[in-house]
Every structure is written in structure tokens, then in C-alpha cells.
Amino acid sequence: MNRNRIVHTLKRWADRLDESLWRLDGYVVIPHELMHVLAYRIIRKPCQYRPGDHVVRPLSERTLGEEVFIKLFPLAVIGSLAAVTFGMWVMTLPPGRFDPASYLASGPRWHIGLMLLTILLQVYAAASFWDVRAVIELLVKDPRKDR
């Protein structure tokens, strides 16, 4: 009896944790999904999106090129921002002024912040992994199988 109660309590706790993580994940990906919405707006195709959803629903047919553009747009934007911030970080790195081992402790705070922003943007760009995978599947799919 006591064991069943513990198992039930743990299952209920895990379900709540899963639900709250799912909700958090939904809100973390909002900027990514809004970039998909912006891509739809750029090519003037209708779409539907509710905050917290994991997908943007198309409301009309798209060509292969439009689909590839929509899927890769967030990666292009975030990846470009990450590349620019990384370039700024490298170009403003004071050569020879700091020992690499003590850089985090003695480096300029704005420069460390720029490094952290670059890392954050690179990690956020990794959210496009599934989009890249979907594009690869679209491009290698045999069109004869759809008939």
C-alpha cells in the first residue's frame, strides 16, 4: 500500500514537471517560431501561430523553395547574429593584455558579456537542428512516392 502511494506520488510529480517543462519550452521557442511567421510574411503566405505552440501552421500550399526558405530563415538570422557578435568579440580582443587562464576574472566585463552573448546565440541557433533535418528530408525525398 505504501509503495503504491509513493509510486503514484512520484508519477504525479513527474507529470507536473513534464507539463511545466513543456510549457517553458513552448515559451523559449517563441522567438524561433516568430521568425518562421516573419518568413511567411516575407513571402506573403498566410499562416497561423498561437504563442506557446511548437509549430506554425501553414494556411496555403507552398513550393519546395518557399518551404526551405521558411524552415531555414531562423537559422540564417540567429546564425548571422552569432557570427557578427563572434567577429566583434575577436576583433576587440585585447591581444596579450590578459592571461587566457585569468580572462574571466580580469577581462573587461563588456567583453565577457559579448562572449556570453555569442555563446547564447550559438546555442539558440542550434534550435534550428530539426529545421535543417526537415529540409534535408524534403530535398532528398523521392517525389514519385507522393503519387
What are the residue boundaries of the structural domains of the chain, listed by start? 2-141
> Could you give the angle at the alpha carbon of 80 between the alpha carbons of 28 and 70, nearest 5°?
65
121-138 pLDDT, tens per residue? 988 888 788 888 888 888
% of the chain beyond a pLDDT of 70: 79
The answer to whether the pTM exceeds 0.85 is no
Sign of CA dihedral 134, 81, 22, 10: positive
